[in-house]
Structure formats: structure tokens, C-alpha cells
Copies of this chain bind each other. A is one copy, B any other.
Amino acid sequence: MEKNKSGIYLAIPEAVVVGNGEFPSHPFPLSVLDQAPCVVCCDGGANALVESGRLPDWIVGDGDSLSEENRIRFQDRIHRIPDQETNDQTKAVSFLASQGIRRIAILGATGKREDHTLGNISLLMEYQQMGLEVVMLTDYGFFTPAADTQTFAGFPHQQVSVFNFDAVQLRSEGLKYPIYDFRYWWQGTLNEVEGDSFRIMAKGHYLVYRTYEAKE
């Protein structure tokens, strides 16, 4: 576990997946990207990665949003999966899982079409059920899928939102506003960490969002 300047604890992932949303501009996701031993791009996500001066180890998808130039340049590292039932993010994650990789950070999965953003975020819950340890990093914060009772690292005034998927008996320690068995997305938003960690007690699955910066 490594603590960055903002007080974020995050294990260095075994691989990073770069989505086809907005390429990260915040230094934290970029530092995670630059430390990753393996970078897999979802199709057109490779265009922005290459433009930023970095190179993909793999490009997964059906190749329809990859530039002609990158399609030729990286033809030896394109892994085509034509399945219409899953999106490119899931194809990239499943490809890594098939290589035995478990700890995965997902970047660039938000910030463009909002329906893609919602879909990509909710898929984190599926990856967790596949036995993977995933985190999604955006320019503002990070999403972690969670189940049952867990303790989370934090720092004072870090903003936290909890999205309930199928959890019951939701309770919290160390959050400014105690959580409860909420049902709607907005009900678990805009909470705040009080100390250096917080604990969520629950039975079932939920998603935790934490910001990089404390509230001003």
C-alpha cells in the first residue's frame, strides 16, 4: 500500500485498462498509469494514450474506433474480440483475467457519453464477482466495488459517496452522516470522512466513491 500526496492508499495494480472515454488529466491516475507493468487499451482508448506519448501493451476490442495509423502500427498487439454482448471495457478486463491478472485499475472510462459512464461504473460490480480487485480512477476520484463489511482508508474531509446495489443492513462508522438502507443513488452521496479511515457494515454489494482532494 502506498500513500500519495493526497493521502490516497492504493495498491499498485498489475495492469491498467485505458477506456475510450476522456483520457485522464489529473496527476494521480496518470501516476498510476505510468507505474503500471501492463497497459491494455479499449480500442480507441489507444489513440489518446499514444497522443499522450505512451504506448499500449495490448489493444482489445473490435478495432472500430482505433485510428488507421494506430491499427497498422500496433497490429501485432491488437487482440480482437467480436462479442457483441459485452463492451470493450469488459473485453479488456476479461482478457487480463484470462492472463491470471487480478488487480486492475481502469482509467478513461468516464467523461464522454453518460450512458457509457453509467454502464462502465456498474460493471465494476461484475468484475468484483469475477474475483478481481478493481478500481476505477477518474479526474476527480475513484470508485471501488465492495461487499459486506469493509474498512476503507481515507483522510479528514475527503468526500465519499456510497451507491447501494443489493446491500441490506447498511451502517457506517467514521462518516459525517451515518448511512442507512438507502435505495436511490442520490441518497448515499455527499458524505465525508472524519478521520483516517471509515467502516461500512452491510450484507451485500455496494460501490464506494472517494475524492482525491478534501472539501475546501
Q: What is A's interface to B at a CB cutoff of 8 Å? A: 87, 110-123, 125-126, 138, 140-141, 143, 159, 161, 163, 184-186, 189-190, 209, 211
Contact = CB atoms under 8 A, between A and B. Distances in A.
Interface centre among A114, A118, A161, A163 (most CB of B within 10 A): A114
A122 B126 CA distance: 21
B186 A123 contact: yes
Given A119-B190, A190-B87, A141 B113 contact: yes
Q: Is the interface of A mostly helix, strand, loop or mixed?
A: mixed
B189 A115 contact: yes
Contacts of A141: 113-115
**Top 3 A-B pairs ranked by shortest CB distance?**
A115-B161, A122-B185, A119-B186
A209 B163 contact: no
Copies of this subunit = 2
Contacts of A163: 115, 118
B114 A121 contact: yes
A79 to B, nearest CB: 21
Nearest to A123: B186
B161 A140 contact: no
B186 A87 contact: yes
A125 to B, nearest CB: 7
20 contacts: A87-B186, A87-B190, A110-B114, A113-B140, A113-B141, A114-B141, A115-B159, A118-B118, A118-B121, A118-B163, A118-B186, A118-B189, A119-B185, A119-B189, A119-B190, A120-B186, A122-B184, A122-B185, A123-B186, A125-B184
